[in-house]
């Protein structure tokens, strides 16, 4: 896993970029090695390319895996971030075609796949990746991101060219993007707790969408999609359910590939326990597992994680996190964010513990709920759509929103009214279910001169219509909450600790198979995620038969007690120009409502504002 940065465009601009700043900005993503490259187009001497790379050595940890990597003839150069789990099979296929290799790393396999197959190379890749390949002969760049968006890839365009990076901050630090807030990014952040792709929190920095590639020639750019989770064939595979076990096992085992030790984040829930069960069955050594525990008993899954670790003979690590310890690391936690987020705190601490234990790679159950229908909303979504459609004639009589956006009204009442106003629209209904602040609150939180008619569903990446509400909701989850919040936070928080997180439940072959299963089979009976439980096979009933419990830190308790004074101080801080982004009176109303215990304002609303305010201050971002 690595950090990448690059620029293609006018030669004079490429020469002016300080690549040392890019390397410094991305050092945490790859502390094992770094390198730079500068090349001039042979077809146009006024066009040039500059690359910077930082390396976290996982596959072929020798110097042979150094990047940027150039083909023997000097024509193609790559910077790559990711892991290709089937790279050995691709390598053998290329060798059979006469290709010769100088290393044992997947980077060279990706590079020579492109040389052989061009942009069609992505069809051969199974894994998580973001990479750029420069063709010096034609002065062109091929930029691509993996199918699910596990690895980030940001870019910004100017009249002088295009710059890209693994992190937003690197683009700002190198001076290719201004530290100016994005109106669209801010609106979606307040609505959902994270900026919705393709936008970021910074103006003119965009995210290349998952399953897309960009071809850049000079200052011209063409973006195209090569894969989409939203594709709807309408045809169910009656054999798919019976094949889930093999594809789950294949995904997990393929992601154990590494030349360094691999561990597992173990919460004690179905997803992480299933990974441990499969990994342990194929490992000759005890699997390293990591669990975070708390003083607050109602947040603890300690006994369930310990039971799984004992059952499968794991080398189990329990990391106890007290409020005092968490508070002492709060500055580092905020520094880890590449963009502000209302989530991700839990990932930061468990990633920190895994890295301190000497690991460079861990597997996570992230995505299990979204793929295997693990939330209660999967069961209810179809009914919500039906009720919304039936209530459409009445819904138009409801006001746009409750009159006072911060008054003490139960969250359930607000959501019920909003669901009726959605009139059965899948994207609008989903926006209500996943929303942070309501549309009226989003507007009220911003200074009056910047309020507009934004509505949360504007930020939702819609999916094609389907009569299978479970699979439709799964697609909406994968293209919105999973992509914009969970994956982004997992990458930022883990890579800030120089740790690679792999997510086998987001293997695209697994997803394609699971989405062929009728939604009813995923929510039937009394067992949560029955397809995954059946695939894991040896899980104890105490793990899959208990009530679902999300992996959440006790932030609600901490903000009312140990974190209270610090949160008050941060929210009241009016230094810099943050007041140009958030209305101080509205922020105070949110904090007051939370501290008074009003049910409509919970800890996530407070943390959302805290993260935004601190991130903007630390990154000197505030102006429009």
Comparing CA positions, the residue from 288, 356, 342, 299 lying closest to residue 322 is 299
> Quick one: angle between helices 603-618 and 183-192, nearest 10?
150
Distance CA 34, CA 587 (A): 42
C-beta neighbour count of 616 within 10 angstroms: 23
What is the per-residue burial (b if ≥16 Cβ within 10 Å, else e) of 231-241? Answer: ebeeebeeebb
Two structure tokens written together for 578: 């943050």
Spell out the residues 6+ positions from residue 216 whose beta carbon is closer than 8 angstroms to its own: 8, 140, 141, 142, 143, 162, 222
CB 487 within 8 Å of CB 446 = no
d(CA 590, CA 620): 24
Query: Hey, what's the torsion of the CAs at 618, 620, 621, 622, to 10 degrees?
Result: 100
The Cα–Cα gap between 426 and 477 comes to 12
Using alpha carbons, list the distances in angstroms from residue 96 to 56, 91, 93, 100, 204.
Answer: 30, 9, 5, 10, 44
Pairing relation of β-strands 262-265 and 361-363? parallel
| Alpha carbon distance 271, 223 (integer Å) | 35
Catalytic residue among 2, 212, 463, 608: 2
373: left (phi over 0), alpha (psi -120 to 50) or beta: left
CA distance 318 to 341: 26
The answer for residues whose C-beta is within 8 angstroms of residue 398's C-beta and 6 or more apart is: 417, 420, 421
The phi and psi torsions of 131 (rounded to 5 degrees) equal: -150, 165
Integer Cα distance of 408 and 600 in angstroms: 6
Q: How many CB atoms lie within 10 A of CB 617?
A: 17
Question: Residue 272 to residues 268, 279, 418, 531: CA-CA distances in angstroms?
Answer: 7, 11, 34, 15
- Catalytic site includes residue 2: yes
Residues forming the active site:
2
């Amino acid at each position: 896993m690595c950090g990448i940065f690059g620029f293609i465009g006018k030669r004079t601009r490429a020469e002016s970029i300080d690549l040392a700043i890019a390397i410094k900005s991305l050092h945490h993503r790859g502390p094992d090695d770094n390198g730079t490259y500068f090349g001039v187009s042979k077809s146009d001497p006024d066009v040039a390319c500059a690359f910077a790379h930082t390396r976290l050595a996982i596959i072929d940890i020798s110097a042979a895996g150094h990047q940027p990597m150039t083909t023997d003839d000097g024509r193609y150069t790559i910077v790559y971030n990711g892991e290709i789990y089937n790279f050995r099979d691709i390598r053998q296929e290329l060798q059979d075609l006469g290709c010769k290799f100088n290393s044992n790393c997947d980077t060279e396999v990706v590079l020579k796949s492109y040389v052989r197959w061009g942009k069609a190379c992505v069809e051969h890749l199974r894994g998580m990746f973001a990479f750029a390949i420069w063709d010096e002969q034609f002065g062109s760049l091929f930029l691509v991101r993996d199918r699910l968006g596990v690895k980030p890839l940001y870019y910004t365009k100017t009249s002088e060219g295009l710059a890209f990076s693994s992190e937003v901050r690197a683009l700002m630090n190198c001076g290719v993007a201004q530290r100016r807030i994005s109106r669209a990014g801010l609106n979606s952040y307040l609505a959902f707790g994270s900026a919705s792709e393709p936008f970021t929190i910074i103006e003119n920095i965009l995210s290349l969408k998952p399953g897309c590639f960009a071809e850049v020639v000079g200052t011209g750019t063409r973006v195209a999609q090569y894969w989409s989770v939203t594709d709807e064939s309408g045809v169910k595979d009656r054999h798919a359910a019976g094949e889930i076990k093999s594809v789950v096992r294949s995904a997990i085992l393929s992601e154990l590939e590494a030349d360094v030790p691999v561990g597992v984040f173990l919460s004690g829930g179905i997803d992480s326990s299933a990974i441990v069960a499969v990994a342990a069955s194929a490992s000759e050594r005890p699997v390293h597992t990591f669990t975070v525990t708390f003083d607050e008993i109602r947040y603890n899954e300690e006994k369930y994680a310990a039971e799984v670790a004992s059952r499968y003979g794991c080398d189990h690590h329990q990391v106890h996190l007290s409020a005092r310890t968490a508070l002492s690391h709060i500055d580092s936690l905020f520094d880890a964010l590449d963009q502000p987020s209302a989530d991700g705190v839990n990932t930061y601490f468990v990633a920190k513990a895994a890295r301190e234990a000497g690991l460079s790679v861990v597997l996570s159950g992230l995505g299990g709920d979204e793929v295997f229908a693990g939330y209660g909303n999967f069961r209810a979504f179809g009914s919500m759509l039906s009720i919304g459609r039936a209530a459409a004639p009445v819904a138009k009589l409801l006001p746009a929103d409750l009159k006072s956006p911060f008054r003490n009204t139960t969250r359930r009442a607000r959501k019920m009214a909003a669901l009726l106003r959605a009139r059965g629209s899948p994207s609008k209904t989903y926006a209500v279910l996943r929303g942070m602040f309501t549309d009226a609150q989003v507007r009220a939180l911003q200074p009056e001169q910047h309020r507009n008619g934004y509505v949360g569903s504007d930020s939702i990446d819609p999916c094609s219509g389907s009569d299978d509400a479970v699979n439709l909701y799964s697609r909406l989850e994968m293209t919105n909450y999973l992509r914009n919040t969970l994956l982004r936070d997992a990458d930022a928080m883990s890579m800030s600790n120089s740790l690679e997180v792999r997510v086998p439940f987001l293997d695209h072959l697994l997803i394609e198979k699971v989405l062929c299963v009728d939604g009813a089979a995923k929510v039937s009976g009394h067992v949560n995620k029955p397809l995954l439980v059946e695939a894991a096979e040896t899980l104890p009933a105490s793990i899959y038969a208990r009530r679902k419990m999300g992996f959440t830190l006790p932030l609600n308790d901490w903000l009312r007690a140990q974190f209270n004074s610090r949160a008050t101080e941060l929210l009241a801080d009016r230094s810099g120009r943050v007041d140009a982004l958030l209305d101080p009176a509205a922020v105070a109303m949110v904090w007051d409502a939370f501290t008074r215990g009003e049910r409509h304002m919970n800890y996530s609303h407070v943390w959302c504002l805290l993260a935004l305010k601190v991130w903007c201050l630390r990154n000197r971002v505030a102006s429009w």
